[in-house]
Amino acid sequence: MTNSQICVARIGAPHGVRGAVKLWTFTEDPLAVTDYGPLKSKDGGRTLEVDTVREANGHLVATFKGVASREDAERLNGIELYIPRDRLPDTEAGEYYHADLIGLAAIDAAGAAIGKVLAIHNFGAGDIIEIAPSEGNTLLLPFTDAVVPTVDLKAGHVVIEMPGEIIGEDPKTAEDE
CA separation, residue 102 to residues 6, 10, 73, 136 (Å): 12, 19, 31, 19
Flag the least confident range among 10-14, 30-34, 123-127. 123-127
* Contact criterion met (CB below 8 Å) for 136 and 90: no
Phi then psi for residue 99, to 5 deg, are: -60, -30
**For 131-171, what is each residue's pLDDT tens digit?**
999 888 999 999 999 999 999 999 999 999 988 766 555 55
The amino acid that residue 24 corresponds to is W
Confidence at residue 98, expressed as pLDDT on a 0 to 100 scale: 85
Q: Which domains does the chain have, with CATH numbers?
A: 5-87 (2.40.30.60), 98-167 (2.30.30.240)
Confidence at residue 1, expressed as pLDDT on a 0 to 100 scale: 38
Predicted TM-score of the model (pTM): 0.70
Task: Work out the pLDDT band at 125, boundaries 50, 70, 90.
Answer: confident
